[in-house]
Structure 1
């Protein structure tokens, strides 16, 4: 993938919208107090708090599963998930150089957790469920010192690991009915565990936090309580809260200098409680289960990450949470930019549609339809409505400023609405469904009527594009056909066939040709007059192409798909002019803004990437 892009000029990445809130403890604050560090797909993002400027650490081949930062901030470490039977990489990054310092490989399938020793001599890593081992690494030699199974045979899986604050030779591991204090014996290359005695308490521990002096450590459990344990003896010192436990378990905890504890639970409550009796002092409710808490050295400012892919900022004084970053928490299905505009764009994901400001990457509006999936969307050219296709077979039309429902077309398609487009005159909507039918709807004052139902496709309609004069449209389908329809007489004008599942199609602005792509990785140029193939390009070396858009002057087009590369092509020559490296998941859609300044791409990992488009519009 990288070799394919190395000789071609790279697209300039301007901003990334995205945060993987499913990684427990994934949000970190660098000791320089200027940057947040967090994962998104296979990328580690460094985001400057002051102005939101982002930098990216690329090197993982699959999703990042854990992140750790050394005490001085000199090193950042990240582990990844991979496939059964394959080694999962740990990458140590040189923070100052923003470069790979070492790549460590021993764990199989997944790296569950990482932690640096206080003097940064060692890095301890914990393998996932299918690996079950702990390995201690020397950061200077980049070699493994020793390793051991993480849990005793009678216990369950180990879930977390944490180094002591004052001792380079001591760390703690915990998980399902296992809680161990480990001692590192470097001369003999061994780690020796001591079982903690919690008596009758049998818990699944998800997170560990050790006091600054290493006297006690706290364990957050799935049962919704916190255990306090003596570090030296491994004996239980207390467990609480006794009466009101944290709903959906304790996901993450942080001990402050004052001795109080910050607690993040699975129901989204973020709590400040006493470190002695676990009594709640302050509490605020956030959206999504709290999965990460990062604090400044003084413990006065907190940054909180949730499973809903939100990041909040909170202070010790007033304990009010301010939402500073939002993003989709699952695959983004489609993206649309209003006609003639370069300030806003809209995206759709599982159950919501969001409108964003292009330059500030800020969410302006969110429209949520619970328990439904939005498959596609379009913005009418007058900018007065967002039309959207949903898996419950309905077409929903929303006002773009308020998010108010303007119209719902019920039972539009029996197997869900899978593609949608609006005409330039804003009077009609063309929709496609999972059953292969194409419907033409006329919008009336406060209502609608079905003008025609066209049934020629045999499988899901994946993409619809309307010709600029509103008299024709082209529909792509996974049945291997693209059909050009007459929107005046509602009959087929032409059909192109290929041995592929078509995923995307575009009209050339002059209207004589279309370009297509799909699962065969080929980009096809087709003549609309007789449906003949004009040219075929190798669009990708790996996987299908799902997104395609063309500039208004027809000089360039852009594609994206399973190879995770955004490619800008010269239309007449059929050559790649620029490649964008940045996505960690399969690219699902791409679009170019009207003035050719900005390109927006979305992917299956929930990310939205904004690129500088390299070709200004031609003066002609």
Structure 2
């Protein structure tokens, strides 16, 4: 239970590549992020990455018409059938070849996938209980090249597929006598999108070179004639309902089409004729159409181009509504929600996800991750926010609750190496390779301090003392540590003494001591109260990579290049423990490695350290897909987390893949032009952070920074895939504490019925069922809370506070739980101070919950106050208008009939 951390969310990556989907209600967007998918709830302003992953990057997502099921397909053709209700994997399947698109029929009975030049129609899972969820119904052949897109008619009778051979094919989903297949030409480039008109067989086709063709069919959907006699129609109806024998179900029908059918074959059958041909405004070959979407009800066509421009047209007249630019790179995917109000755009180059409301011309969602790797992160003191710094020079602040980035600072001009919060949580400080350390205000969202050295140096690490008044940064080229004042921005001192690049620095949380680590195999402790004199020097056996203080400041952890982690007492400068971590790194084999992964791991080490909130364990990570948690007292490995299973990243496979071996060696070591075009392009020498050339680059999996949440409920890691958050599973109900045979749910309710509230609370916590504890606490009258809190045993005070911290996040009884919290802290505060170090995570969790609810209530109060002011102003304005009108009417009545003048009531008093 203590280390049962599970994957919770993925931040910093909002879109990679693949198709976007809106849920049927139109309030959420499903976006593929690497080998996972993220659901962005636009109505409740929340994002959630589902807790399952596939082996490679996802290329296409098919969503069922009811929004309960989805089919995910990766680059290699492996598919997952998932339930969006239970957020679990239902079935696995492999198509053995890359799949280009997946689309469910509107009635939810079938879905079609396209691979190579074939369209395969499957029975949709979920209609009946079966062992194999992917049952093939028909295979459709016709195009000569790869297929690109699919669209269904509204009644699910037919579907159309576009191909790279510049043709569009219309197939019947059932056996129609007058429509088996139909091939449409007229384009000079590959088809990007094909769309049926609402309740019709009329078709729109769009090619990559920016040409739109309008096709009119001479037959309505009701005019399609079944080819089966009545008996066979009844049999097929039984098949759709799942009542036919398994032998008949296993028969797969193949439909072969011809590109140029004879005229006799179309005698008396469905015919298409092109009624119009339109051209988009094209500016050179680069401005090709890359994505398209069409809303049938409002006749809205959205097209995206390679230059980042998108157009909105009204069909069939092709009237231009909007033409705007959202990026300087191509638009990879477009989706429109069910009402037609919101349009989602995905740009895979910058990793941008944008939801735009075209009628009001406003953003609903605009999120973008770091363009390159994330290098550092930090938690705010209350655990509600995270700040990350990347190689793109941007500093982003994220909300840990909803997963959205709410501010981005772009003042730095080079890679960010370190970020941190001050103790009050309102200031973010960042260090960069551009030679500056900057402080950002989270109230006004501005850069209010810029710290520089006497000469241009590259800062590699950063630390801020507990008071927030002193800022220190270490350089990797000058071997010095620079000290500034936060208030004035002036350089106070330069700490010299190291003989190598400064790799890490850390302030003690309890004393005025600064620890600096360097590649010169030394850790120096500087005393801030004694004019920055060197207090101690710790000598190690290898280059020092990271140093960190324990939360209470009584211990120092150091990671070195030889894979060891040593623990020191900063008071006596004596070593208290050592952990050998080389055997637990377990690095994967890279494509260009000539040695085994086991041998390569011997030269690796942990580059990031972080103490847990209670200081009893340490979290470590490095150039590996594993994150380890060690017990400091026992000096043993407690748990190992695999942060990714994405084989699209480098250094993931632990063993050599024989399929990539040739008689001349590894396929990855061959030149680009030496083979038949199927070889892997070599990356530039020494490139690790992205290949800016046009050649192929496969990023390597690694962990650059690790941080524990101050509440101890979660930890975060910046990796190649993004910002991963692991948290404790809150759904586990049964975790007994001092459980006896007499403690049952019925006995707890009996004691509660007798109004023995303290005994009922103790029994409920021993059984430790969340719903039962909630029931018992909420049955305590408000006037009895003081008595119950004073009679609670000290052991259960901590457990009640911990439950209140979690209950405050979701409960509507805000005042009731705040009363419990206040009385417990007032009555037992002195006793809790003696164990403040162990209770710190729980107190910070309680503070986080109260602060979050305070922000929600304050926003609601401000909203109500502004509404009341507005209503009062409107009422006063109307009352003034009525009084003026009444005075004018009085004057008129005086002139017209002075003898019939009657006193009028003041209507403003009633208002």
**TM-score category of the 2 structures, normalised to the smaller one:** 0.7 to 0.9
User: Could you tell me which residue of structure 2 aligns to residue 4 of structure 1?
Assistant: none
1:484 corresponds to: 524
Residue 369 to residue 62, structure 1, CA distance change in 2 (3 Å): farther
RCO comparison, higher one (Cα < 8 Å, 6+): 1
CA contact (8 A) 1:394 1:411 kept: no
Aligned Cα root-mean-square deviation (Å) = 4.5
Counterpart Cα distance in 2 of 1:364 and 1:185: 47
Match of 2:336 in 1: 295
1:467 aligns with 2:508: yes
Q: Could you list the per-position Cα deviations for residues 213-267 of structure 1 after superposition, in whole angstroms to 9, with x for gaps in the alignment?
A: 342133263x5x3433538659694232247799844343221222221234455
Q: Please state how far the C-alpha of 1:44 moved relative to its aligned partner.
A: 1.9
Deviation string 1:460-491 (CA, Å, 9 cap, x unpaired) is x54332334343313265x8x46335463469
Q: Does 1:160 align with 2:148?
A: yes
Deviations 1:72-101 (A, max 9, x none): 4343111224xxxxx442222244443333
Query: 1:99-178 maps to which residues of 2 (within 5 A)?
Result: 99-107=88-96, 111-118=99-106, 123-125=111-113, 134=118, 136=120, 138-139=122-123, 141=132, 142=134, 152=144, 158=146, 160-165=148-153, 170-175=159-164, 178=166
Give the direction of change, closer, same or farther, for the CA distance of 1:46–1:261 in structure 2 (3 Å limit): same
Change (3 A) 1:169 1:496: farther
Q: Which residue in 2 is equivalent to 1:92?
A: 81
Deviation at 1:493, TM superposition (A): 0.9
Give secondary structure in 2 for the equivalent of 1:321. Answer: strand
Q: Secondary structure at the match of 2:838?
A: coil
* Structure-2 residue corresponding to 1:43: 36
For residues 120 and 522 of structure 2, the distance between their equivalents in structure 1, rounded to whole angstroms, comes to 57
**Partner of 1:215 in structure 2?**
202
Give how far 1:144 is off: 6.3
- Give the aligned partner of residue 652 of structure 2: none
Listed as ranges, the matches of 1:180-579 within 5 Å are: 180-181=168-169, 183=171, 196-198=184-186, 201=188, 203=189, 205-212=191-198, 213-219=200-206, 221=208, 223=209, 225-228=210-213, 230=215, 237-242=276-281, 248-256=287-295, 257-283=297-323, 285-286=325-326, 290-307=331-348, 308-309=350-351, 311-315=353-357, 317-323=359-365, 327-328=369-370, 330-338=372-380, 340-349=381-390, 350-369=392-411, 372-381=414-423, 385-401=427-443, 402-409=445-452, 416-424=458-466, 426=468, 428-435=470-477, 437-443=479-485, 445-448=488-491, 451-457=494-500, 461-468=502-509, 469-475=511-517, 481=521, 483-486=523-526, 488-489=532-533, 493-498=537-542, 504-509=546-551, 513-517=555-559, 523-525=565-567, 529=573, 534-537=578-581, 539-542=584-587, 545-551=606-612, 553-560=614-621, 569-574=630-635
CA contact (8 A) 2:418 2:432 kept: yes
Residues in 1 aligned to 2:727 and 2:14: alpha-carbon distance in whole angstroms: 21
Q: Residues 413 and 432 of structure 1 are in contact (CA less than 8 Å); yes or no, is this contact kept in structure 2?
A: no
Deviation at 1:352, TM superposition (A): 1.2
Q: Please list the CA deviations of residues 416-468 of structure 1 after superposition, one character each: whole Å capped at 9, or x if unmatched.
A: 4332223345454443445483432334834326613454236xx54332334
How far the C-alpha of 1:60 sits from its partner, in A, is 0.5
Q: C-alpha separation between the residues in 2 aligned to 1:519 and 1:144?
A: 55
Residues 79 and 112 in structure 1, CA contact (< 8 A), matched pair in contact too: no
Q: Is the Cα contact below 8 Å between 2:526 and 2:534 reproduced in 1?
A: yes
SS of the residue aligned with 1:335?
Answer: strand
Q: What is the alpha-carbon distance in structure 2 between the residues aligned to residue 348 and residue 573 of structure 1?
A: 34
SS in 1 for 2:50: strand
- Taking the aligned partners of 1:67 and 1:466, their CA distance within structure 2 comes to 47
Q: Which residue of 1 aligns with 2:755?
A: none
Q: Which runs of 5+ in 2 are unaligned?
A: 126-131, 217-270, 589-604, 647-700, 731-798, 803-836, 841-911
Matched residues in 1 for 2:569 and 2:141: separation? Answer: 63
Asked if the contact 1:454–1:490 (Cα under 8 Å) also holds between the matched residues in 2, the reply is: no
Larger Rg belongs to: 2
TM-score (norm 1): 0.77
Distance change in 2, residues 1:19/1:283 (3 Å): farther
Whether 1:605 and 2:721 are equivalent positions in the alignment is yes
Q: Is the 8 A contact 1:170 1:182 kept in 2?
A: yes
Distance 1:111 1:502, change over 3 A: farther
Q: 1:589 maps to which residue?
A: 705
CA deviations over 1:117-145 (Å, ceiling 9, x no partner): 55556554456xxxx56562634652667
1:21 correspondence with 2:15: yes
Corresponding residue pairs, total? 582
Give the counterpart of 1:63 among 26, 36, 57.
57
Change (3 A) 1:29 1:330: farther
Partner secondary structure for residue 618 of structure 1: helix
Determine which structure has the larger strand proportion and give its number.
1
Is the alpha carbon distance of 1:442 and 1:542 closer, same or farther for their aligned partners in structure 2, counting shifts above 3 Å? same
Partner Cα separation in structure 1 for residue 195 and residue 429 of structure 2 = 48
Give yes or no for contact 2:61–2:73 (8 Å, CA) kept in 1.
Answer: yes
Q: What's 1:84 paired with?
A: none
Distance 2:506 2:147 in 1: 49
Secondary structure of 2:405's partner? strand
Contact 1:211–1:255 (8 Å) recurs in 2? no
1:353 Cα deviation after fit:
0.8
Alpha-carbon distance, 1:391 to partner: 3.2
